[in-house]
Each structure stands twice: as structure tokens, then as C-alpha cells.
Amino acid sequence: MELEVKILDIDLEHIRRIMVEAGASLVKDEQQDNLIYDFPDRRLLKAQGYARIRVVEDHRTKKVDVLMTTKRLISRDVVKRMEEFETPVSDRETGEGIFKALGLELIQNIRKTRESYQVKNSLVEIDINEKEFVPFPYLEVESPTVEELEEIVTLLGYTMADTSSKSIFQILEERGLTPTTPKGL
């Protein structure tokens, strides 16, 4: 199970400096294409879930990895709890073939860069999306426990009151921005 919160409108250089000072390891520096799939009736999104193929190009090594994932929201209170299943596949076409054979269709491609820092057993992930999708940088903190998540949020100079467990779609909607993503993501 994944425990996650978002912190919005971050100062990128300030967060990077905190990560260096804390001795965090940069474990990912990548470009992602996140291909979101659902059935024609959108039953996954309606159930607060989705299927995804993520194509990842490592900026340092230029290596490309492809992952198939399903996610489903378990709860959203102070933190977001997601059930997640993920497996590597040989290439994008194989993943697409599997999803299409199951009756899913591509509904969105979300492109972003991600820097991920390992702190203890947690990840601090800085996301910069295409500006027409999300016009501000944000980060996600993913932790195995609520206690560690709160500790990392504090290390970053924030409180849990500064975090959000909402989906990026909900955040954009609250800000009066019109995302190009279907409801539910």
C-alpha cells in the first residue's frame, strides 16, 4: 500500500538544497510518459482507479523502462492510500496490446519530468508536468508509515496542514484550472 501526500507550489531549488543537506540520494531523474487507460464506460475512474503504462527515460543513462500499473484509491483523509500493482514489460507496444486485449482504451498521455530522492524508507518526488496540464511544480512524499511521512514533511519545512491528499485533478479544479484529464485521476 502506498501512503502519499502532495505539497504544492514548491520552490524547486530550496527543496533540492534541503535534500542535499539531509544526505538524501537522488535515485531518479527522468522523463515520463504516463499513458492512462480505462474501459469505454470509465468504470476504473468512477471507482477511483486507473490502469497505466509508464514509459520512463532516465536522464543520466538514457535507459528506457516500461511499467504497467493498476491503482485504486483505498482512502483519502490526511494521506492518500492507494492499492497499487506494477510490473515491468518489455516495451510500450506489449503493454498497450495487453490493455487493449482486455478492452481498455487510451484516454490520456501525461508527460512530466520527475526527480526522486530517497530519505530513509521514503521518496520525495519533484514533479514538473507539461504547463498546459499542471502549470506549477509540486512534490509528492511517499512513505511506508504515517509517522515517517510526517517526519519527512517536517524535514522539508512544512506541516501536515500544508499537504494535500487530493488528486491533481481535484487540485486543478479547486484553482479554477481546466485540466485536459478525465475526472477521477
pLDDT classification of 132: cutoffs 50, 70, 90: confident
pLDDT, tens only, 66-110: 999 999 999 988 888 899 999 999 999 999 999 999 999 999 999
**Residue 172, SS3 per DSSP:** helix
Burial 76-110, CB ≥16 within 10 A → b, else e: beebbbbeeeeeebeebeebbeebeeeebeebbeb
Q: What is the pTM of this model?
A: 0.83
- Say how many C-beta atoms besides its own lie within 10 A of residue 55's C-beta: 19
Q: What is the pLDDT of residues 1-36, one digit of tens each?
A: 779 999 999 999 999 999 999 999 999 999 999 999
What share of the chain has pLDDT > 70, as a percent?
96
**Pairing outcome for strands 80-89 and 64-76:** antiparallel
Q: Which domains are seen in the chain, by residue range?
A: 2-174 (2.40.320.10)
Q: Are strands 2-8 and 138-143 parallel, antiparallel or unpaired?
A: antiparallel
Specify whether the CB–CB gap between 74 and 81 falls below 8 A: yes
**pLDDT of the residue at 104:** 98
Show the CA angle centred on residue 56, arms to residues 50 and 60, nearest 5°.
155
Decide: residue 62, CB within 10 A, 0-12 exposed, 13-18 middle, 19+ buried. exposed
Integer Cα distance of 79 and 143 in angstroms: 10
Q: Which set of grid coordinates corresponds to residue 80?
A: 492518500
